[in-house]
Amino acid sequence: MEKITVNIPGSVSEIFVGREWETAGKLIPQSGVLIITDQNVHSIYGNRFPEFPVLIVQPGEQSKKLEVIGQLAERLLDAGIDRSGFLLGIGGGVVCDITGFLASVYMRGIRFGYVSTTLLSQVDASTGGKNGVNLGDSKNILGCFRQPEFVICDPVMLYTLSDEEYFSGLAELIKTGIIGDRLLFEKIEQNYNAIIGRDPELLSSLVSMAVNFKAAVVTEDERESGLRRILNFGHTFGHAIELSSSLAHGYAVASGMELAARFSCNKGLISVTDLERITGMLKSFNLLRDYHIPGDQVGRLILHDKKKAGGDIYFVLTEGIGKAVVEKMPAGTIVDFYLKYKAGK
């Protein structure tokens, strides 16, 4: 088990990788706790939850909206939760987002922590203090920065994920290797069979590497004014693909990473060899799925990106495996690349 600490002015967040999830009961108060989870997680693990009231939401993005937050807040009031209360989110990225957002706004902020049940949330959503909900087709457009007190990442929980969920999370793990940890990328390359087999020891090591990198980035730039932007590699195209093609987040981001890597190669930032390594890895895990963004919708969807500044986008490119760079460019430049690339396929 490894403990990774995110030190932010005014808060400390501890991420436990490889710790048994049932030990969450030792990290929470003895009273005033409510648990938030979804139906899928509750059906598998609910009989082993700490003995506190449980609020259950529908699985999936449809629960990440203000209407659901309002309903949950009413349940907190009915349960007598006051400013000394504590929320424990047990689930994947959606549950973590909902829990963190609700805890951040309820009575102007109460304490919270996570048991992260999916690979996607272990390497990305549950670490870093971003809490958001969707507004229409704009992802995470309403949100805040606030750190959980703790996150437990138990690799044994990954056994119960569907293949779709598991490999969707693997895309974010690969992303971390591309943008900041060449050794992580190489370790994924070298352990294909163990990753397919969900080896818990290997997964603990990979998750620890990814979380250590993200913790370092977040500690330096919590509010995404500079360095933290690199964590959005693949997401400008990925969010547009997700909105237009209804792909799961990880698969959409995988295609977004392929496009960003090709854009980087087109600009002379990476070699064809590195491009082929990146696309080869994404293909080997069957992460590149068919998608279609209508040509007349690309610009609109790109400009839904929270990383925009007026008509410009802070776009993340790679200068080689293990190194990312952010370039502010007109949204039209990004759209032109996409349209030319798709026309040439």
Q: Which pLDDT value is given to residue 309?
A: 66
Q: With 0-12 CB in 10 A as exposed, 13-18 as middle and 19+ as buried, what is 195?
A: buried
**According to DSSP H, which parts of 158-199 are helical?**
163-180, 182-190, 192-196
**Cross-strand bridge partners of residue 81:** none
For the chain, the first-to-last Cα distance in angstroms comes to 46
Side by side, which strands form the sheet with 308-309?
Answer: 308-309, 312-320, 323-330
Higher pLDDT, 339 or 44: 44
Instruction: Check whether 133 has a pLDDT greater than 70.
Output: yes
Q: Which pLDDT value is given to residue 127?
A: 81
Residue type, 324: A
Tokens 């009915």 map to which residue?
78
Helix (H) or strand (E) holding 16: strand 11-17
How much of the chain, in percent, has pLDDT values that exceed 90?
A: 80
CATH number of 2-160: 3.40.50.1970
Say what the pTM is: 0.92
Q: Would you place residue 128 in the very low, low, confident or very high pLDDT band (cuts 50, 70, 90)?
A: confident
CB distance 197 to 146 below 8 Å: no
**Cross-strand bridge partners of residue 3:** 16
Q: With 0-12 CB in 10 A as exposed, 13-18 as middle and 19+ as buried, what is 279?
A: middle
Instruction: For the chain, give every domain's residue range.
Output: 2-160, 163-344
CATH number of 163-344: 1.20.1090.10
Q: Indicate if the alpha-carbon torsion angle 215, 35, 166, 141 is positive or negative.
A: negative
What digits encode the pLDDT tens for the residues 263-321?
A: 999 999 999 999 999 999 999 999 999 998 887 788 888 877 656 667 889 999 999 99
